[in-house]
Structure formats: structure tokens, C-alpha cells
Amino acid sequence: MNRPGSRAAQALRPSSRRPVPLRRAAYALVLSSVVLLAACQKKEAAAPTPRPVVATAVQADGRPNTMTLPAEVQSRYSTPLSFRIAGKIVERRVRLGDTVKSGEIVARLDPADAQKNAASAQAQLDAAQHRLVYAKQQLDRDRAQARDNLIAQAQLEQTEDSYAAASAQRDQAAQQAALSKDQLQYATLAADHAGVITAEQADTGQNVSAGQAVYNLAWSGDIDIIVDAPESALAALAVGQTAKVTLAALPGRSFTARVRELSPAADPQSRTWRARLTLENPGTDVRLGMTADVALNGNAAQSAASFTVPATALFHDGNAPAVWVVRTDDVLELRRVQVARYEERTVAISNGLKNGERVVLQGVHTVTAGEKVRVMAPLHPEDFAS
């Protein structure tokens, strides 16, 4: 019989300690529960605060939606004045801004070389004329002797050939003499039309080549208004259409111009189309080079509503003008617009906006598309009054 304290009795007694692996698993389970409970009790991360922006709702201003473009007054015809021969300028008779008449002499070249060429050509013409006279006399004698059978037929033919050659040489010398006289006249530069000298490209004492411009002459007569129109203005431009023109130098006055020519392709650098408008009844007050504003009043320019916004609201999307619009969900959207005219503190938007839409007025370079914002009214609304 086993004793209570014997080893056999202890072996038959149940163990009072748990296995070590089971206790470690229990500890891990308790620890994970504590961590999970702590994580649940943490506050969720706060959402980013919407950026405050100064914006206001826009309304159509009711103004005629005419597109105004900058322009310049130029002569319809403008040509360079140049000598037709090379030489040294020894005299200039007009200066920048002078008015000249048709045929008026404006400059001269040193005529010494041209005079020598003309004298040489004239001497060659005289010699050729003498040879022709001698050849004619010899031909008359040989023809008379040939009728009397005093010379052979071959000799007569040779005399006729010499006469023909002398006649051709005389004609050649005459043309050369005429050309030399013309070149002597080309040493004098005359205006081929009445007009105004708008540029000087050469000075007295300068050696110039044939065709090198000495002056630029703007013809008197028709006056053009030159406009470089953007793509958005093409619909309002058509040959024969009229436009209103105002000049900065003549305040309070307006003129009528008619589109005469429109470039078929855009300039590769500026991406604009050049239009030429003929100014009707310009008057003597209109000077070449004046700056002008052309108001296009075509149907295409008047079809949409016009919105006037502060110039500080204008942004750019690439090369196109744009504004930041606050959508109904208070998210920013960059929207391209068409600018009808630029004024001192405002711009007129002809396309791209609707009544009641909110437009950002300040800080347009600090916001991004898709950003959540909070709209604030201008602190000083009078600063943004149109």
C-alpha cells in the first residue's frame, strides 16, 4: 500500500501547475485585448480645416458685350526708299517725320563713278556709230561694183556681213549708253509717292548697296487700324464688318473702321490673327503710330452675357485666361473664360461664367484645384467695386 508521501502517491495525485506554453498564450491574448481596447478609445484624426478664401457671387452687368482689342494706326501702304545702284551717300534732304511730295528728291549718291561709266558708254556708242557709217559706205560701193561684175559675189556677201555686225554693235552700244545714263539718274533718290518719312536706315557718308533701305515712306491716303486678334475674337471678325475705334490721344471722339483684310493663319509666335481695318474719314488729327481700341460689335460678340470681375480674380490655365470658381460643395474649380475687354481695375468676362456663381477675388496664386474652401465676404467690398 502506497503511502501518502511516497513518490508513487505523488505521481497519482493531479498536478496543480499549468503547462508553460498555455500560460504564455493566455498572456498574449490578454495583452492584445488591452491594445485593441486602447486603440478603440483613441479619437479619430481631425479632418483638415477648409481654407478661407475671399469670394463673391457674380451677376451679369447688363453692359453691351462688345469685345475690345488694342490696335495701332498705320498707313495702308508703306514702302522702303532705296537706291538702285551701290554708292556713297553724299546728301540727305529729308529727316524723320518730314512730309514729301511725289517726285521730290530725298537723297543723293556720289555720282563720279556713274558719270565715268556714262561717258565711257557714250564713247563706245560714238565709235560703233562711226564703224557702222564706214560699213554702210563699203556696202554701197561693193553693191555698185557687183552690179558691174567687178567683184566676186563672195566679197559682196562678206561686206554685207560686216555691215550687219557693225549695226548690231551700234545697237548694243546704244543700249549700254542708255543703261549708263539711267544709272547716273539712279544716283538721285526721289520719293515715288506723297507721304511721310517714318524711318531712317542710312546716314550721310555711308556706303550702301543696291536695294538697301535709306528711308521708309508711309503713303498719304488710306489709314489702317492694325489689330492682332486672339482666337476668341475670330468669330466677331469678318471682312466687310464695321467696328468702333477710339484713340487715346483723341478722347471723347470715336471713328468707324471696316475690316479689309484678315490673316488666314495665326502668327507662330503670338498665336494671334492680324486684321487690317480701314479707317473711314480719319481727319488730320489722326497720326500714324497712335494707339487705338477697337470695339467689335458683331453678333457673335453680343450673344453671351457679360460679367465684370476685379482684375485680381484673373488667373491663367496655360495660355488661356481663367478664374477660380467655388462649386456648390465648396470645392475649387479652375475654369477657362473669355475676356471681352480689359479695363483699369476690372475685366469683362464674355463666356465661361453663369449668374450666381462664386468667384475667388484674392489669392488666386495660392489655391489649388479640388481644394475644400470656406467662402468669406470681402473685408472692404468697395475695393472690388466695378
Q: What is the DSSP string of 177-245?
A: HHHHHHHHHHTEEE-SS-EEEEEE---TT-EE-TT-EEEEEEESS-EEEEEEE-GGGGGG--TT-EEEE
Q: What's the one-letter identity of residue 141?
A: R
The β-bridge relationship of strands 373-376 and 51-57 is parallel
Q: Are 84 and 224 in contact (CB under 8 A)?
A: no
Q: What's the one-letter identity of residue 179?
A: L
pLDDT surpassing 60 at residue 42: no
In CATH, which of 2.40.420.20, 2.170.190.11, 3.30.1540.20, 3.40.50.620 is domain 54-63+305-384? 2.40.420.20
The whole-model pTM stands at: 0.58
How far, in Å, CA of 307 to CA of 360, rounded?
14
Domain at 68-76+221-302, CATH homologous superfamily: Efflux pump adaptor protein, beta barrel domain (2.40.30.170)
Say which CATH architecture domain 78-109+189-219 belongs to.
Beta Barrel (2.40)
* pLDDT tens-place string over residues 81-122: 999 999 999 999 999 989 999 999 999 999 999 999 999 999
CATH topology of domain 111-186: Helix Hairpins (1.10.287)
What average pLDDT does the chain have?
84
Indicate the Cα dihedral angle 130, 131, 133, 136, nearest 10°: 180
Greater pLDDT, 339 or 297: 339
Query: What per-residue string of b and e applies to 110-135 under the rule 16 or more CB within 10 Å gives b?
Result: ebebbeebbeebbebbeebeebbeeb
In which residue are the cell numbers 554702210 written?
Answer: 136
How far, in Å, CA of 228 to CA of 74, rounded?
13
All three cell numbers of 377: 465676404
pLDDT surpassing 60 at residue 45: no
* pLDDT tens-place string over residues 273-298: 999 999 998 888 898 889 999 988 64
How far, in Å, CA of 189 to CA of 156, rounded?
52
How far, in Å, CA of 70 to CA of 228, rounded?
8
Task: Spell out the domain ranges in the chain.
Answer: 54-63+305-384, 68-76+221-302, 78-109+189-219, 111-186
E-strand spans in 14-159?
51-57, 67-75, 78-82, 87-92, 99-100, 105-109
pLDDT surpassing 50 at residue 300: no
Helix (H, G, I), strand (E, B) or coil at 245: strand
Looking at residue 189, its pLDDT comes to 96
* pLDDT tens-place string over residues 49-71: 888 999 999 988 766 666 788 99
